[in-house]
C-alpha cells in the first residue's frame, strides 16, 4: 500500500524534496527529478488497485504526455519501497513551482500573454492530433449526453447533502435541453474534424509558463474515450479552471485566442456548454474528495469548492441557453429597433421579414416596393412564403446553437403557432414580445422614417384592426425611450421562458411549414 509518508529507500531527509498528493496519485520530488506514482484506489471512474494496471497506465501516460512535453517526461522506472517491494513510477524533469499557471493566476500576475501562448500551442496540437472513426464516435450528441448522464449518476448520492437538489436538477434539465436541439451542430463538428484525441484534463495546476514556452502536463490517460473529444471541449476545461481561480477575463482571452488560431466558427453557446460540462465533472471529483477527506476542515473546503463548481456549471448553462425571440406589432411600433437592440445586447442573430421579403423577390432591401393592400410582394402568397423562409432559417440557426430574434408583425395566430413549433423542434427557450404604442405616435414615426419598411399609415391602421390577441406575449410599451423599452424587453427575456421544452418531445411534427399553411385568412400582411 502506498502511504503519504517518506517511503522510498534512501530518499528520506533533505534530498527527499517533498510530496504532492491528488485523489489518484502521488508525486515524490527528489532534487530536480519528480517520480509520479498511482495510488491503488478504485474511484468508480478509474481502478488502479492492480500493480499491472498501474504499470500499464504509467507507460501510457508517458507516451501520451510526450505529445505536449517531450522534454519533461523522461521514462518509467520501478521504485523500491520500504517493505521490499517496488512500485512503477513515471520519471519526470521537475518543473519550477513558481511558474505554475495556477500559482501565477492566484498571485494576480499579468499572464494574458502566457494564456495566449497556451491557446496557440493547443490549437497547433489539435490541428495535428490523431483522428479517426473511433475517435469521432465520441464527439457526437449521443456520446456527450452519455458523459453527462454518467456524471449526474455519480453525483446522485450527493444530492441533498453536499449539493443542493435544485441545483443538480437545473444542471440536468439545462444540459439535456441543449443537447436535445443541437444534434445538427454536434454532427457538423464531427464531420469537420474537430473531434480529436486531445489532452482531456487541461488544468492550470499542470501548466508551467517557461521562457521558451508553456509545458502542458498530465493528460487524461486512464480512459481513451474521455480523451476523445471536441478540441473546443479540451480548451474549455482550462477556461473553466481559470474562471474557478478568479480569472474570468483570462478564460475569455483563452477562448478568443483559440478561436482565432484554429479559425473556428463555433457558436458561443457551445463553448458555454463545454465549460459547464467541465465544471460539473470537476464538481463530481471534488465531491468525491470531500467524501475521502481525513479532517473536517478538508471536507468543508472540498464541499464548498464542489458547490462553487456546480454553480459555475449552472451559470454557463444558463448563459449558453439557445433562445428564440419573436418580436411583433403593427408598423411604427418600434419592433425593428427593439430587435436590433436585443440582438446587440444578447449576442443574437436578427432575421427580419422586411428584408427577407425583398430578398426573395430579388429587390434591394433598401429600395421601396410599396403596393396596394394585399398586392405585389405583400400578397397572401408572398407573405406565406416569407414567413416560411423566415422560420426555416431560424430553425437552422437554432439547431446550430445560435440564438435568434425574429422581427416581423406576427399578427396571424397560425404564424405564431409555427414559431412555437420551431422552439419545440430545436429545444429552444421561446419569448414572444408584442410592441405597442399609441396610434398617433406610430403614424408620426411612419411619416418620418426612411427604412426598409414599405407600410404607410393606411396599411398600419388596417393591420391594427386585423390583429388578433397574442396569447402569452409580453407587451412592451415602445412609447418611452429606446433604452427603457429595451430594458423592459430584457426583463421579459431573462424571466422564465414562455415555452419550456419537455425533453425532446414536440407537440407537432418538427418539419418546416408549408408556405400555404402560414396564412389563416385571405388578407396578406405587409410589415
Do 334 and 249 lie in one domain? The reply is no
The pLDDT value recorded for residue 447 is 67
Q: Residue 484: how many CA atoms within 13 Å on its side-chain side?
A: 6
Do 40 and 119 lie in one domain? The reply is no
In a domain, 382, yes or no: yes
In a domain, 526, yes or no: no
Whether residue 369 has pLDDT greater than 90: no
In a domain, 183, yes or no: yes
| CATH number for the domain that contains residue 53 | 3.30.200
For the stretch 141-179, pLDDT in tens is: 999 999 999 999 999 999 999 999 999 999 999 999 999
The pLDDT value recorded for residue 461 is 59
Do 65 and 205 lie in one domain? The reply is no
In a domain, 7, yes or no: no
Average pLDDT of span 24-52: 88
In a domain, 12, yes or no: no
Contact indicator for 525, 378 with CB cutoff of 8 Å: yes
In a domain, 298, yes or no: yes
Whether residue 498 has pLDDT greater than 60: no
Residue 278 to residues 144, 299, 518: CA-CA distances in angstroms? Answer: 12, 22, 43
The three three-digit cell numbers of residue 475, written as one number: 407587451
Residues 6+ apart with CB under 8 A from 397: 349, 351, 404
Of the chain, the percentage scoring pLDDT greater than 70 comes to 84
Own/partner pairs, 140-148, CB within 8 angstroms, 24+ separation: 140/183, 140/186, 140/187, 140/190, 140/195, 141/179, 141/182, 141/183, 141/186, 141/187, 144/179, 144/186, 144/277, 145/176, 145/179, 147/226, 147/277, 147/281, 148/172, 148/175, 148/176, 148/179, 148/277, 148/280
Whether residue 507 has pLDDT greater than 70: no
* Cα–Cα distance measured from residue 396 to residue 49, given in angstroms and rounded to the nearest whole number: 49
Which domain does 375 fall in, by range? Answer: 323-518
Do 335 and 431 lie in one domain? The reply is yes
Whether residue 8 has pLDDT greater than 90: no
User: Among residues 319, 352, 382, which one ends one of the domains?
Assistant: 319
The winner for highest mean pLDDT among 211-220, 293-302, 373-382 is: 211-220
Whether residue 379 has pLDDT greater than 80: no
The pLDDT value recorded for residue 11 is 38
Whether residue 370 has pLDDT greater than 70: no
Q: Which residue has the higher pLDDT, 514 or 423?
A: 423
* pLDDT grade for 344, boundaries at 50, 70 and 90: very high
Q: Which residue has the higher pLDDT, 252 or 24?
A: 252
* Cα–Cα distance measured from residue 9 to residue 507, given in angstroms and rounded to the nearest whole number: 70
Residues 6+ apart with CB under 8 A from 114: 101, 104, 209, 214
Residues 6+ apart with CB under 8 A from 81: 2, 7, 8, 9, 87
In a domain, 342, yes or no: yes
* pLDDT grade for 25, boundaries at 50, 70 and 90: confident
Of 60-64, 275-279, 344-348, 516-520, the range with the lowest mean pLDDT is: 516-520
Do 386 and 439 lie in one domain? The reply is yes
The pLDDT value recorded for residue 526 is 32
Of 131-140, 377-386, 402-411, the range with the lowest mean pLDDT is: 377-386
Average pLDDT of span 463-477: 82
Do 163 and 269 lie in one domain? The reply is yes
Whether residue 15 has pLDDT greater than 50: no
The pLDDT value recorded for residue 5 is 38
In a domain, 525, yes or no: no
| CATH number for the domain that contains residue 484 | 3.40.50.300
Average pLDDT of span 472-499: 86
| CATH number for the domain that contains residue 159 | 3.90.1200.10
For the stretch 262-319, pLDDT in tens is: 999 999 999 999 999 999 999 999 998 898 888 999 999 999 999 999 999 999 999 9
Phi-psi region of 376 (alpha: psi -120 to 50; beta: other; left: phi over 0): left
The pLDDT value recorded for residue 46 is 81
Structural domain total, the chain: 3
The pLDDT value recorded for residue 94 is 95
* Cα–Cα distance measured from residue 430 to residue 328, given in angstroms and rounded to the nearest whole number: 14
Do 367 and 514 lie in one domain? The reply is yes
Whether residue 12 has pLDDT greater than 60: no
| β-pair type (474-477, 429-436) | parallel
The pLDDT value recorded for residue 93 is 96
Do 313 and 353 lie in one domain? The reply is no
pTM, to two decimals? 0.85
Do 431 and 508 lie in one domain? The reply is yes
User: Among residues 93, 126, 151, which one ends one of the domains?
Assistant: 93
Do 410 and 446 lie in one domain? The reply is yes
Do 378 and 437 lie in one domain? The reply is yes
Do 271 and 368 lie in one domain? The reply is no
The pLDDT value recorded for residue 257 is 98
Average pLDDT of span 406-434: 94
User: Among residues 60, 75, 93, which one ends one of the domains?
Assistant: 93
Amino acid at each position: 500500500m502506498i502511504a503519504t509518508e517518506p517511503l522510498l529507500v534512501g530518499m528520506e531527509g533533505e534530498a527527499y524534496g517533498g510530496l504532492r498528493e491528488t485523489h489518484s496519485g502521488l508525486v515524490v520530488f527528489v532534487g530536480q527529478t519528480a517520480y509520479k506514482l498511482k495510488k491503488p484506489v478504485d474511484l468508480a471512474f478509474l481502478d488502479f488497485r492492480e500493480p499491472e494496471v498501474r504499470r500499464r497506465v504509467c507507460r501510457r501516460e508517458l507516451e501520451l504526455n510526450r505529445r505536449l512535453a517531450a522534454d519533461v517526461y523522461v521514462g518509467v522506472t520501478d521504485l523500491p519501497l520500504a517493505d521490499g517491494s517496488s512500485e512503477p513510477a513515471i520519471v519526470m524533469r521537475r518543473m519550477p513551482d513558481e511558474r505554475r499557471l495556477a500559482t501565477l493566476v492566484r498571485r494576480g500576475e499579468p499572464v494574458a500573454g502566457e494564456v495566449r501562448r497556451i491557446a496557440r500551442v493547443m490549437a497547433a496540437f489539435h490541428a495535428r492530433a490523431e483522428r479517426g472513426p473511433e475517435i469521432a464516435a465520441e464527439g457526437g450528441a449521443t456520446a456527450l449526453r452519455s458523459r453527462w448522464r454518467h456524471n449526474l449518476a455519480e453525483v446522485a448520492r450527493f444530492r441533498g447533502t453536499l449539493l443542493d437538489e435544485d441545483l443538480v436538477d437545473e444542471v440536468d434539465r439545462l444540459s439535456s435541453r441543449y443537447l436535445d436541439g443541437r444534434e445538427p451542430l454536434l454532427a457538423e463538428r464531427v464531420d469537420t474534424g474537430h473531434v480529436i484525441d486531445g489532452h482531456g484534463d487541461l488544468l492550470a495546476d499542470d501548466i508551467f509558463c517557461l521562457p521558451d514556452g508553456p509545458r502542458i502536463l498530465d493528460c487524461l490517460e486512464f480512459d481513451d474515450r474521455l480523451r476523445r473529444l471536441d478540441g473546443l471541449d479540451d480548451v474549455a476545461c482550462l477556461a473553466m479552471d481559470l474562471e474557478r481561480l478568479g480569472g474570468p477575463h483570462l478564460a475569455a482571452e483563452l477562448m478568443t485566442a483559440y478561436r482565432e488560431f484554429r479559425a473556428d466558427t463555433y457558436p458561443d453557446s457551445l463553448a458555454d456548454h463545454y465549460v459547464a460540462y467541465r465544471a460539473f465533472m470537476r464538481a463530481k471529483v471534488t465531491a468525491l474528495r470531500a467524501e475521502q477527506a481525513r479532517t473536517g476542515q478538508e471536507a468543508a473546503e472540498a464541499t464548498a469548492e464542489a458547490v462553487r463548481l456546480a454553480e459555475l456549471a449552472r451559470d454557463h448553462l444558463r448563459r449558453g441557453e439557445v433562445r428564440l425571440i419573436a418580436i411583433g406589432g403593427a408598423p411604427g411600433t418600434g419592433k425593428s429597433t427593439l430587435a436590433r437592440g436585443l440582438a446587440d445586447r444578447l449576442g443574437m442573430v436578427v432575421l427580419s421579414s422586411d428584408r427577407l421579403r425583398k430578398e426573395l423577390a430579388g429587390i434591394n432591401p433598401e429600395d421601396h416596393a410599396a403596393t396596394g393592400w394585399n398586392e405585389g410582394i405583400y400578397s397572401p402568397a408572398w407573405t406565406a412564403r416569407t414567413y416560411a423562409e423566415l422560420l426555416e432559417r431560424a430553425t437552422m440557426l437554432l439547431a446550430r446553437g445560435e440564438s435568434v430574434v425574429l422581427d416581423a408583425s406576427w399578427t396571424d395566430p397560425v404564424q405564431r403557432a409555427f414559431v412555437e413549433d420551431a422552439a419545440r423542434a430545436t429545444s429552444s427557450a421561446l419569448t414572444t414580445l408584442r410592441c405597442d404604442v399609441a396610434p398617433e405616435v406610430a403614424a408620426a414615426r411612419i411619416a418620418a422614417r426612411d427604412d426598409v419598411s414599405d407600410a404607410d399609415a393606411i396599411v398600419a391602421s388596417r393591420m391594427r384592426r386585423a390583429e388578433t390577441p397574442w396569447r402569452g406575449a409580453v407587451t412592451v410599451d415602445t412609447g418611452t425611450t429606446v433604452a427603457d423599452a429595451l430594458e423592459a424587453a430584457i426583463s421579459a427575456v431573462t424571466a422564465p421562458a414562455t415555452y419550456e421544452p419537455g425533453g425532446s418531445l414536440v407537440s407537432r411534427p418538427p418539419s418546416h411549414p408549408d408556405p400555404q399553411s402560414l396564412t389563416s385568412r385571405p388578407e396578406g400582411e405587409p410589415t
